[in-house]
Chains A and B, each alone.
Chain A
Amino acid sequence: MIPENLRYSRDHEWLTEGSPATVGVTAFAADALGDVVFVELPEPGTLVKAGDPCGEIESTKSVSEVYAPADGEITEVNVTLSDEPGLINTDPYGAGWLFKLRVTGDPELLDAAGYTALVS
């Protein structure tokens, strides 16, 4: 259920290997949020530090911040989410991705086993 080939933040986000890395929220986080109805994402070109709030995900019940999982520059955002925010629920590791991040430095991230331990 938790993909082996991704890296994870303690804020329940996943990143692909390499740079720019694709970033999204995990299925665990998406399930906890409930149906996502609105997503606000940073502008491409935004420089972020790991842990910075850089967007919002709203479900019917709550609002959650999106945190940058690593230092870097936002290179692209998933514009499809403005019309179809529910992709975060239905395909969190695929079409529901949030943004792409040109990672600088060496971020502190978990592997799949580490993230599995975090959420179990």
Chain B
Amino acid sequence: MRRTALFDTHSRLGAAFTDFAGWSMPLRYGSDLAEHHTVRDGAGLFDLSHMGRIRVSGDPAFLDWALVGRMSAVKVGRAKYTMLCHTNGGVLDDLVVYRLAEREFMVVANAANAAVVRAMLGEHSNGYDVRVDEQPGVLIAVQGPMSLDVLGTGADLPYYGIRPDRLDGREVLLARTGYTGEDGFEIYCSAGDAPAIWEWAAARGARPCGLACRDTLRLEAGMPLYGHELSVRSTPFHAGLGRVVALDKPDFVGAAALRSVAAAGPETLLAGLVTEGRRAPRAGYRVLHEGTDVGVVTSGALSPTLGHPVAMAQVTAALAEPGTKLAVDIRGTRVDAEVVALPFYRRAR
């Protein structure tokens, strides 16, 4: 099992660990609900070093070809949410791509897909003047409304902006990105500096948080998780994320398949569901309409913030409209569900 540079820090804090894509990662330090609420009303501290980081140096036209978004249009110091698709249009991973300089990009991939993303970028780079390299280091996130107070810098950094900065005297890349639905920052630093930066942020009020609450936070925020809402068997359009596909680009990997789905419309769509009671729909549970199977739950939990169950499900496109009455088979019991617009939770600004 791979360990991050912060493994000993987590052990000292008494973390419960979980195997995540071959990495031993903190699942929770104490109460996952308390960690969830901290991110909603304070500041949480996450080790995300398992995520893949790939440095792409060279011709920006390469990423326009390899990814579905128009990455050459991203300004230096800004980031864009995008996807890597198969030629058949299926999603291989969702990514955040930061433009660090005119010809320098950092691609951040899901841990489970990092090797695939790196291999596919390498393959697609044939004929382009680019280098694709693994980028070492650590990724720490500070998320929540008190994040700015913790860091003491970054107020002028726009959402989805990135810049070099110093934290506790140490050089970092500071990005205003995250996966929780709150204001927050992601800090790219060296493995050597990571323990000190972690301790510094914790001492300034950020509470260590594990992957358990990261999942409920992103679910409330309606953000997709690869392997649940996204997979190679469906396109960005199926996940309601067709906006990330720049169909007007001349050509790119997956263009023909994606144009055809965009024109015909996907047969199924991602929908937000809310249910009564406290038993949550879970991934894999059947979704029904008037007794007929119309879809499957991709993620679900009792929302810690809202106090009722929320779920995302891939359902027949015509039934994905907010207000539609559906049902979920929760371990043999049919529970009424209503389609609602995503996200379930939106922070006050």
User: Chain B residues with Cβ under 8 A from A58's Cβ?
Assistant: 278-280, 302
User: Chain A residues with Cβ under 8 A from B278's Cβ?
Assistant: 37-38, 58
Decide if A34 touches B331 in the complex (CB within 8 Å).
Answer: no
Decide if A60 touches B212 in the complex (CB within 8 Å).
Answer: yes
Decide if A38 touches B282 in the complex (CB within 8 Å).
Answer: no
Decide if A60 touches B331 in the complex (CB within 8 Å).
Answer: no
Chain B interface size, under 10 / 10 to 19 / 20 to 34 / 35 or more: 20 to 34
Instruction: Give the interface centre of A31, A38, A59, A60 by most chain B CB atoms within 10 Å.
Output: A60
Report Cα–Cα, A56/B280, bound state, in Å: 12
Report Cα–Cα, A35/B16, bound state, in Å: 13
Decide if B282 touches A60 in the complex (CB within 8 Å).
Answer: no
Q: Helix, strand, loop or mixed for chain B's interface?
A: mixed
Chain B nearest Cβ from A78, distance in angstroms = 16
User: Chain A residues with Cβ under 8 A from B301's Cβ?
Assistant: 60-61
Report Cα–Cα, A37/B216, bound state, in Å: 13
How many chain A residues touch B (CB < 8 A): the figure is 14
User: Chain A residues with Cβ under 8 A from B31's Cβ?
Assistant: 35, 89
Chain B nearest Cβ from A55, distance in angstroms = 12
Interface residues of A in 39-73 (CB under 8 A from B): 40, 56, 58-61, 63
User: Chain A residues with Cβ under 8 A from B280's Cβ?
Assistant: 38, 58
Interface residues of B in 129-148 (CB under 8 A from A): none
Report Cα–Cα, A60/B282, bound state, in Å: 10
Decide if A31 touches B279 in the complex (CB within 8 Å).
Answer: no
Decide if A60 touches B279 in the complex (CB within 8 Å).
Answer: no
Interface residues of A (CB under 8 A from B): 31, 34-35, 37-38, 40, 56, 58-61, 63, 86, 89
